[in-house]
Structure 1
Amino acid sequence: MTDHVVLRVFTGPDGGGGNALGVVPDGPAVPAPEARQALAARWGYSETVFLDDAAAGRVDIRTPGTSLPFAGHPLVGVAAWLRLCGHDTTVLRPPAGEVPAWQEGDITWIRGRAAWAAGRRTEQYASVAEVDALPAPPPGEGWLYAWAWEDEASGHVRARGFPRRGDGVVEDEATGAAALVLTARLRRSLVVRQGTGSVILTRFRDDGTIGIGGRVRVVTP
């Protein structure tokens, strides 16, 4: 059995919620892409990260069905894990490009670009109640990020994420990349309440990059 740890990423202030993430600290121990994909499918987390080089921040991100060039919750999670393990890694290197990572209090931050998260469609609903009433998943195909304002003045959003990609992940508890896309489209920083109790923070920047931040809790060491 390949050693891996489980984190919950984007937990609420009380430690509840958060999206489960599998992290394989010794990525080179599983060199074959086919073997990595098989493990990601077997474990069934929305994403699994293979840490290939802690010092360089080189990572491989996989859903149960495919590899991803960029994803928010895996990168926030692995940045927090590296810090907990004593690594001073300030840049992560998924296939999409260089991703700055840093810590502010109990919040782990990364910064990325909306172009790296293509394929995630956002759809605004009239009320939080309408978002909460959606079936999991709603009818249709393709990644859907359903959202409504909780408090538009303060930038608070209620959202739910539905990958709809046929890999067993019916609803994503917390989705940093989709929150990044929404932030880019609204051109403002947000506090996103997603899933059953997750909280995603975003920071809009005029240079085209967007910060994604959240709390991370270790489930298994």
Structure 2
Amino acid sequence: MTDYDVLRVFCGPGGRCGNELGVVRDGSVMPEADERQMFAGKLGFSETVFVDDPERGIIDIYTPTLRLPFAGHPCVGTAWLLDVPELVTPAGVVGARLDGEFSWIEARPEWVPPRTLRQYGTAAEVDSLAVPTPGEWVYAWAWEDEAAGRVRARAFPGRDDGIAEDEATGAAALLLTHQLGRALNITQGAGSQILTAPQPEGWVEVGGRVFLER
């Protein structure tokens, strides 16, 4: 069995919740894309990362059924694990930094695959949503406290790969931040926390807590 780490990314206060992430630190043990895709499907995490150069931060990201040029929680988690100032993804170079208990990345909204950002009137409406049938990728959100930038969100990838709801989704949070043009404090899923902040020239920072599960 290939060695891999399991992280929880975007954990809430006290380390609860967070989205699990698999990271294969030595990507050379599985160099072919079809091997990686099969392994990611076997692990069943919303994303699995293969590290092709730990010093330069070159990574390759897979869901259980497809390869991604960029994704938020894999970049936040892998940057924390490798302790590097940047990651190199097929989409572009992702800046990375640590600030106290939070791991941050800086990325661009145009790197994110299409998402439907669907606003609801109240957080309670978001909480009561049923998981939709596979189809479009939906980020359902509502203001908990608009003045404070606090958001309640849930994510439905719309794929038929066993991930009906994503616990914490940095890329969708990045898109929402870009659309609203302001910093956000997002509670997603069962209690994960995502922090975001717009940056100059269209960049967006996304941050959260990361814990090593095993």
Band of TM-score, shorter chain? over 0.9
The residue that corresponds to 1:86 in the other structure is: none
Matched ranges for 1:192-203 at <5 A: 192-203=186-197
The residue that corresponds to 2:110 in the other structure is: 115
**Equivalent-residue separation in structure 2 for 1:112 and 1:11 (angstroms):** 20
TM-score (normalised: structure 2): 0.98
Question: Could you say what secondary structure the match of 2:18 adopts?
Answer: strand
**Equivalent-residue separation in structure 2 for 1:28 and 1:206 (angstroms):** 36
Deviations 1:37-64 (CA, angstroms, capped at 9, x unpaired): 0000001000000011011110000000
**1:149 corresponds to 2:143:** yes
The residue that corresponds to 2:42 in the other structure is: 42
TM-superposed deviation, 1:206: 3.5
Over the matched positions of the two proteins, sequence identity in percent amounts to 53
Deviations 1:86-112 (CA, angstroms, capped at 9, x unpaired): xxx211001000000000001000000
The residue that corresponds to 1:161 in the other structure is: 155
The residue that corresponds to 2:171 in the other structure is: 177
Question: Could you say what secondary structure the match of 1:142 adopts?
Answer: coil
Amino acid across the alignment from 1:17: C
Q: CA RMSD in A?
A: 0.8
- Which consecutive residues of structure 1, in runs of 5 or more, have no partner in the other structure? 84-88
Amino acid across the alignment from 1:163: P
Matched ranges for 1:1-221 at <5 A: 1-83=1-83, 89-136=84-131, 138-139=132-133, 141-220=135-214
Deviations 1:18-48 (CA, angstroms, capped at 9, x unpaired): 0000000101110111110000000100000
| Aligned structure 1 segments of 4 or more residues deviating by more than 3 angstroms | none
Amino acid across the alignment from 2:175: V
TM-superposed deviation, 1:139: 4.4
TM-superposed deviation, 1:126: 0.5
TM-superposed deviation, 1:13: 1.4
